[in-house]
Every structure is written in structure tokens, then in C-alpha cells.
Amino acid sequence: MSFTQWLLTFASMGLVLLGLLLIGALLSYGERRILALLQDRIGPNRAGPFGLLQPVADILKLISKEDFIPPFADRMVYTVAPVIVPMTVLMSFAVVPISEDEWLADLNVALLYVLALSSLRVYGLMLGGWASNSKYSLLGGLRSAAQMISYELPMGLALVGIVILSGSFSLREIVAAQELPFIVLQPLGFIIFLVCGIAETNRLPFDLPEAENELAAGYNTEYGGIRFAFFYLGEYLGLLLIAALATVLFLGGWHGPWLPGVVWFSLKTLVLILLFFWLRTSLPRLRYDQLMAFGWKWMLPAALLNLLVTAVLGLFWMEG
């Protein structure tokens, strides 16, 4: 590659990074406003017009906090852990195609790449909980590890159905194959993916690792300031990633009449995000053993069934 190509690549990477951080910040604002709406409150409305500058105020506050490391913590791991979470999520975005001709990287193993990174993310929570050396954090960290293992299995299996239908691991080709969105062909797969996605991002009703009521913030009990902000950012970007992936894999990505592809992609992602917000305000949290039982006794068999049916039908389809 020539120098200009390198430059362009780096520039676009920087642009995407900046855009994503901005969206992540806006999501935190959006969630608070929408939750407030659903809960008969007003929500943040003081900083800037309609409170739009609230994320800026939050970040400024968190940055200006004392950089405190508890004396009993494992300093090295404690410092690294919060970075892992947003980093792995940001890396996943590289392969998400926004429209027909807008993406950062078109890996032929993109789906595996995304799944691998989402598995790596758990290290952030687990190590954070472990390094804090506090009992609540430890319980939260262990919960997150168990939860991640239990839910990425059905998630991966649910996605194999997509691979069978499209014949590719590349996200761009998967979208290209969706003249008919895969949600129609894979309704069960979609539901499994969505549920596991919420579980992977640790949001209600699956927010057991932080479970404020019993674990008092769980894995991030001992975190404050900018380190806490990293966990926070990671959660919102993770939410965005799951919504974007569900759009790409099941809702036909950029496909849609009249409007440009980017708009369709954004709209579909936004609807899913609103769904996540809505779920968060409506549902209580599951108990740890129920979460495990649900993952292994319902999600996994359902994913296997989905895979089996898809494979058998797919075989006939291709034969015929």
C-alpha cells in the first residue's frame, strides 16, 4: 500500500473511533432521557439545549476525579482491566458494514472475529472484579465470567444458521445475501441472538455482575473516575454493537426501499436500542441460578434445534 492509502486508512479509523465515542456518549444521554420518559420523570435537561451536553459534563467530572487505586487492589491488573472492555468492543466495529460501500475491514472470518472479541471482553469485567480485591467485586466478576460462557455458546450456535443461509462468514456478504431479511427465515435464531446479546452486555434483566441491590455495583464497586467511565463507555458501545450486529445479521443491514443504506442501517439499529432501553425499565433482574438454568436448559437446546432445522432445510434447499 502506498503512503496515501495508509494515511486514508488511519484517517478513516480515527473518524470511526471518534464517531463511535460520540455515539456512545449520546447513548448514555439518550438512555437516561428515554428511561426518564418511561418512568414519568424529566431526566437530565440542564447542561446545554435539552441537556444534550450532559455526557460532556459527565466526562469532565469523571476526568477531574482523583485517580484513586484502593491500597488493597492489584495495581497492574486493576489499571488494565477497564481498558479491555471498550477496546474489544471498538475493535469489533471494524468489521460492521454500515452501507453497501462503507466499512473499515471486510474480513472473510468477520463473524468469528466478532465472537472472539466478545469472549475477550469478559476478561475486563472478571479481572476488574478480581483485581479490586473486594468481596462484592469478586462475586460480580465471577458472575460475569459464568454468564459470558453460558450465553456465548447459544449465541454462536444461533449464528451458524446465518452462515448456512448466506454461505459466508463475512458480514458484508451476509448482508448482501439478505434480499429477504434473515429474521424471516431465522426468527428463533434472532430471538436467541438478541437475548444472548443483552446477557453479554450485562444489561437488565441480565445485569447480575453489577446487581446494585445485592452486590452494590459488583465488579466495578471499587472503580471511580475515568476508570469507571471506561466500563461505562464499554457497556454503551457493547449495546450499540449488539444492535448493529443484529441489524446486519438478521434485519438486512442497509437494505430497504427509498432511503439510502446508511439511514436504513441507523434506523434499524436505533429501534433495537430503544427495545433494549424499554426492556431495562420493565423487567426485574433474574437470579444467578435462574440465569444459568435459562442459558443451558432453554437457550442452548433452542439454538441447537434452530441449527438442526436450518441445516436440514438448507440441505434440501440447495439440493433442490
Partner 1 sequence: MADRTSQQALITQLQTLFNAVPGELPHDKIDTLSIPTDRLIEALTFLKHKAEPRFEMLFDLSAIDEAKRGGGLTVFYHLLSLSGNADLRLKVSLPDEDPLLPSVCTVWSAANWYERELYDMFGIHIDGHPDLRRILMPEYWEGHPLRKAHPNRATEMPPYQLPEARYRTIMESYRAEDYREPGMSAEEMILNIGPTHPGTHGILRLVVRLLGEEIRDVNPDIGFHHRGAEKMAERHTYHTYLPYTDRIDYLAGVQNELPYVLAVEQLAGITVPPRAQVMRVMLCELFRIASHLVWVASYAHDTGALAPPFYAFREREYLFDVMELITGGRMHPAFFRIGGVALDLPEGWSEALQSFLKRMPAAVDEYQALLAQNPVFRARTRGIGVLSTAEALDWGISGPNLRACGLAWDLRKKRPYSGYECYDFEVPTASEGDALARTEVRLEEIRQSLRIVEQAMQNMPSGPILSAEARYTFPRKEATLQDIETLIHHFIKVSRGMGFPAGESFFVTEAPKGMNGYFVVSDGSANPYRLRIRTPSFPHIQALKLLANGHLVSDLIPILGSLDYVLADIDR
Q: Using CB under 8 A as the criterion, which residues of the chain lie in contact with partner 1 when the complex forms? A: 35, 38-41, 135-136, 139, 204-205, 207-208, 211-216, 280-290
Q: Which is nearer to partner 1, 70 or 256 (CB)?
A: 70
Q: Which is nearer to partner 1, 65 or 135 (CB)?
A: 135
In the complex, least distance from residue 141 CB atom to partner 1, rounded to whole angstroms: 13
In the complex, least distance from residue 280 CB atom to partner 1, rounded to whole angstroms: 7
In the complex, least distance from residue 211 CB atom to partner 1, rounded to whole angstroms: 7
Q: Which is nearer to partner 1, 227 or 280 (CB)?
A: 280
Q: Which is nearer to partner 1, 13 or 217 (CB)?
A: 217
Query: Do residues 271 and 62 lie in contact, with contact meaning Cβ atoms separated by under 8 Å?
Result: no
Q: Which is nearer to partner 1, 156 or 288 (CB)?
A: 288
In the complex, least distance from residue 40 CB atom to partner 1, rounded to whole angstroms: 6
In the complex, least distance from residue 82 CB atom to partner 1, rounded to whole angstroms: 22
